[in-house]
Amino acid sequence: MTAYNSTQPANAWHTARREAAVNLYLSGAQGDAGALVGARVAGFPVELYVIPVSDWIDPQELTDAAAAVIQVDADSPASIKRFKRLATSTATPLVAAAYEPPLALVRALLKAGAHDVLPLPLDIVDLEASLMPVHDRRAAPEAPTLPTRAAKLVTVIKSVGGVGATALTTQLAIRFARSEASQGREACLIDLDVQFGDAAFQLGMRPRLTLADLFQAGSRLDGALLRSVTTRHESGLQLIAAPAEMMPLELMASDQLMEIVAAAKREFGTVFVELPTNWTNWTLSLLATSDLILLVTDLGVGSLHRARRQLDLITSQDLDALDIRVVINRFDKSQYRSLGADNVATALGREVAFTVVSDPALMRSATERGVPIDALKRKSQLGKELDLMNAALAGALGLER
């Protein structure tokens, strides 16, 4: 129910306040905005204020609000200035909303302190997803941030491109995130293959923001900004996608990248990182901080040779104490027998930790549709072996389930 308040200007109306609400400051009740009045989003009641995009909003109005959604017009410098001034004047999470916001505006708003940027007309599903982290934080205000020492980093490297590492990583991360969610924990996947990464595509996701936006944020990086860039999969997995446009590897500063990964560990707990095929000046730095490394290869002679070269490089850098698990993807028993188990171990210089059966039809269908393999085939050998990997990773990371 909405009520007109005569003490307010004629251009503002709202619902009665009874608890911390989500304040919508929009120029009109278009899209789902009108339907939101009297409803609840992320557990909060909604109050709608119809107000021109450039009119000033008193920060005191936001003091008791759970969050505020504020319309911004890309063609109105005054509306952008209003949002930036509010961001420096209140601790209440602010969500910017705009019609077809250009990427430059999205980045500017995030840098200014936006919790998130949503497109107009407002969509209830988008708003719910954006505000759930706010709900979670308010529901457990005493809960401490997960300390870095309790967080875990799993780094995925590949012997060569084309061994199916991304498909394996995304399907494994889905299973891992589901298991973690059952224990009240989160998991995150960062696609660091900034030139050819397609984890988002293989997960059936279309993120608005990507890793590039975190680099643009610079020193403003914090947990709220990090969450605003992630996209949540239905499994609970949080994804930080590779940039939509190819990014030169040398533009990724090592210090900034390490801070992004550290922030993700603090925010989410267990973080999976998939590295590009080509090694960079920050590859070894990232490996050195990993709790577990998965080296994905197949049984091709060239692939095994490249895997061995990477293992030798890690050893030469005095990093041989790292927990590295070799994964033979697209495993074929007949090919393995012809090569000989001893010859494979000799070629790698270590034993194989995991094998993942070759089921190209099932895996290709799942990744092309962007769904878990269980959605296509409830029971499969591929699913069974991924479950074994999931359980083994939890054990290796010391996670109780």
**Residue-range domains of the chain with CATH:** 22-139 (3.40.50.2300), 149-396 (3.40.50.300)
- Determine the pLDDT at residue 335: 87
Q: Mean pLDDT throughout 331-349?
A: 87
pTM over 0.85: no
Beta 152-158 vs 94-99: how paired, if at all?
A: unpaired
Residue 15: the pLDDT is 38
In 3-state terms, what secondary structure has residue 249? helix
Distance between CA atoms of 401 and 387, rounded to whole angstroms?
Answer: 13
Cα–Cα dist 116/227, whole Å: 9
| 316's tokens | 């030469």
pLDDT digits (tens, 9 = 90+) for 144-203: 444 444 589 999 999 999 999 999 999 999 999 999 999 999 999 999 999 999 999 999
Mean pLDDT of 239-244: 94
Percentage of the chain beyond pLDDT 90 is 58
Mean pLDDT of the chain: 87
Other Cβ atoms within 10 Å of 124 Cβ, number: 15
Residue 327: count other Cβ atoms within 10 Å of its Cβ.
26
As given in the structure block, the two tokens for residue 248 are: 């030169």
């296509």: which residue's tokens? Answer: 376
Mapping DSSP to helix (H, G, I), strand (E, B) and coil, where does residue 210 land? Answer: coil
Q: What is the mean pLDDT of residues 224-233?
A: 92
Q: Which helix (H) or strand (E) holds 124?
A: helix 124-139
152-158 vs 292-297, strand pairing mode: parallel
Q: Can you tell me the distance from the alpha carbon of 309 to that of 311, in angstroms, rounded to the nearest whole number?
A: 5
Closest listed residue to residue 156, CA positions, set 173, 180, 136: 173
Euclidean distance between CA atoms 73 and 54, whole angstroms: 9
The pLDDT-based confidence of 276 (bands split at 50, 70, 90) is: very high
Query: What is the Cα–Cα distance from 213 to 243, expressed in whole angstroms?
Result: 8
In this prediction, residue 13 carries a pLDDT of 40
Decide if pLDDT at 3 tops 50. Answer: no
Q: How would residue 32 be classed by pLDDT, with cut points 50, 70 and 90?
A: low
Q: Are 120 and 99 in contact (CB under 8 A)?
A: yes
Q: For 13-22, 132-141, 244-253, 347-356, which range has the lowest pLDDT when averaged over its residues?
A: 13-22
Q: Sorting pLDDT into bands at 50, 70 and 90, what band is 217?
A: confident
